[in-house]
Amino acid sequence: MTRPEPASGRRPSVAVRVTTLVTSGRLVEALPLAVLLVAGVALRTVLLGQQQLFRDEATSWYLASHSLGDMLGLAANETAPPLYLLLLKGWMAAFGDSEAALRSLSVVAGIGTIGVTWRWAGDALGRTGALVAAALVALSPAMVAADREARMYSLETLLATLAWWLVWLIVARGGEWSARRRAAAAVGLVLGVAGEVWTMSLGLPVAGLQLAFAVFGLLWLRTRVSAIAAGCVLLGVLSLAPWLPNLLAVASNGQRFWTPRPDLGSAADTLSYWLSLRLGGLWWLGAGLAAAGAALGLAAASRGLLSRPSTDIGDRGAVPGGVRRDRLLAVAIALGMGLVPAVWIYSQLNSVYDPRYLGAAYPPFAIAIAAGVVSVARKARSQFGANQPVPARALAILVVLALVCGIAIPASVAVDDSSHDKEIEPARQVVATLSGLVHPGDVVITLNAQTYFPLRYYLRDGELERSLGTSLYDWHRPSAAFFTGWKDIDDTGILEPATVARQGWRETVHIGPRSVFWLVTLVDPDREFSVFEPLSTGEMRETGRFDVKGAGRVAQIRSAVLVEP
């Protein structure tokens, strides 16, 4: 006769054991994503405030630091709509305007992009595909670089990815949902599309591609949800109507965009940069691997290979959906990546091609590669047989590890490079040096925008500008609204003696009898000063020059020139 076990020694009930197994299973499933998020956050935040602000970042700060009305007035002269500036202004009010604080808004947007990509790929490909796509976004050098800048590129990528996920979800699955869920997804899609077009001008072609996908679903599936998706995209685009006249005015002002016309290798170079650094002549290898992986994923999705039942590396059961849904995925990611060739073609007429602007195409590209990895893993499992899961699992794991290591190492190198003073304007050193040399009545003139905006930022808390009794001037672009401008220098840059002698001008800049002009540049001074006409024509005379050193060395030739009229 056995004794009953004491209460303290009772075995756990079946329900408790099942709950424990389910909970531990979920934790195990969530662990890889958690590791990716930690790695993504680390790459985006380590030494975030060490690098000095460059021109574009300082411009973001300069515009957002104005009052709301003035900011919108200045933003009307920009090529980008003002949503990012509005968010940055609120962010600065909450967290300050240090370098790290300014850039952290983009960090948050970048982490959000990882999460949205994971959800989209998980809905379309299953857990393994979701992890691969999330890894590609979290560790891509291009994505990491964009997420570490106080610019609008990271926000644009997040909003465009959200809109792509929702438009695909509504067309592919909206018919299976309740009315409340469809309405929530529709509102999210309108907001996502409105956000992308209010963040960057390139949001308009992205929205056009999303509309094309909804129309494709309408023509192919002939479902009401496809019409709803198309209507939501149109509503989001129409929200930009109040700002559209400003964009058209800026686009027609005749100013040439700064990027050159892209050659045939530009698109391939962009694909390579998304996955790895462009090291010497090996860019073609990264571009080839990227294109091959994306093509494989598109082929697998378009043929319906991803709809087959699978127990691939932790996937529980079959990936939901059929051949049509997979083909919808193929169309969506193909159109998403289509932003790159579309911008390349347009840039043959009016170049706007810059890899930084094309981040909205990267998450669809990552999902395409993830689809290729899933297809290879399932083919391997089929080849080895159901009774030998280890080889198939090992193959897929090796592929994933190769992808992760192949892009994580270049991403860490990119972070290391960006956090030092390599090819960085040493605006801090310029301000520190000038502070010990200028006197009341002196005039500081910057010769380019690369110098003007960083100096404006680093002068914000100093005494230099107040001690001068005047503002910081820029002579290159006096017509631009966001420059203080030296309006007395004409388009040729020549300062006439009569202008200097004019009493009204002297009062404007508070020139004293012993005033000194400081010409400052943070780029190659020989190139900048050679085109500064007052020096070459003798209207102004150079009396001294000093180089500015940073981090114990001269990053590039940086100079300030002491001149007299």
Looking at per-residue pLDDT, the higher value among 403 and 420 belongs to: 403
Select the highest-mean-pLDDT range: 173-187, 272-286, 322-336. Answer: 173-187
Q: What crossing angle do the helices spanning 427-435 and 449-458 adopt, rounded to 10°? A: 70
Res 508 pLDDT > 70: no
Residue 407 is predicted with a pLDDT of: 59
Q: For all residues of the chain together, what is the average pLDDT?
A: 75
Cα–Cα distance measured from residue 104 to residue 110, given in angstroms and rounded to the nearest whole number: 10
- Read off the amino acid at residue 5: E
- Percent of the chain at pLDDT exceeding 70: 63
Residue 506 is predicted with a pLDDT of: 41
**Residue in this structure with the two tokens 């129409």, named with its chain if needed:** 238
Whole-structure pTM value:
0.81
> Across the beta sheet with 473-474, what order do the strands follow?
473-474, 443-446, 517-521, 559-564, 541-547
Which contiguous run of DSSP H or E holds residue 253?
Answer: none
Q: What is the mean pLDDT of residues 498-523?
A: 53
Give 431's pLDDT tier (boundaries 50, 70, 90).
confident
Give 557's pLDDT tier (boundaries 50, 70, 90).
very low
**Residue in this structure with the two tokens 């994923």, named with its chain if needed:** 297
Q: For CA atoms 153, 34, 337, 195, give the dihedral sign.
A: negative
Whose CA is closest to 489, among 523, 521, 447? 447
Select the highest-mean-pLDDT range: 170-184, 264-278, 371-385, 483-497. Answer: 170-184
**Residue in this structure with the two tokens 């911008």, named with its chain if needed:** 343
Q: What is the mean pLDDT of residues 150-179?
A: 94
Looking at per-residue pLDDT, the higher value among 251 and 139 belongs to: 139
Check residue 261 and report its DSSP letter: P
Give 314's pLDDT tier (boundaries 50, 70, 90).
very low
- Reported as a single tens digit per residue, the pLDDT across 347-391 is 888 888 888 899 999 999 999 999 988 888 777 776 665 555 555
Cα–Cα distance measured from residue 225 to residue 241, given in angstroms and rounded to the nearest whole number: 25
Give 256's pLDDT tier (boundaries 50, 70, 90).
low
Q: Cβ–Cβ contacts within 10 Å for residue 305, how many?
A: 17
Distances (CA, A) of 97 to 61, 427, 431: 8, 16, 18
CB contact at 8 A, 230 and 209: no
Residue 310 is predicted with a pLDDT of: 37
Cα–Cα distance measured from residue 206 to residue 336, given in angstroms and rounded to the nearest whole number: 7
The token duo for 469 is 């009794």
Whose CA is closest to 376, among 292, 297, 287, 290? 297
Distances (CA, A) of 49 to 45, 106, 111, 177: 8, 13, 18, 45
Residue 258 is predicted with a pLDDT of: 66
Residue 82 is predicted with a pLDDT of: 95
Cα–Cα distance measured from residue 450 to residue 462, given in angstroms and rounded to the nearest whole number: 20
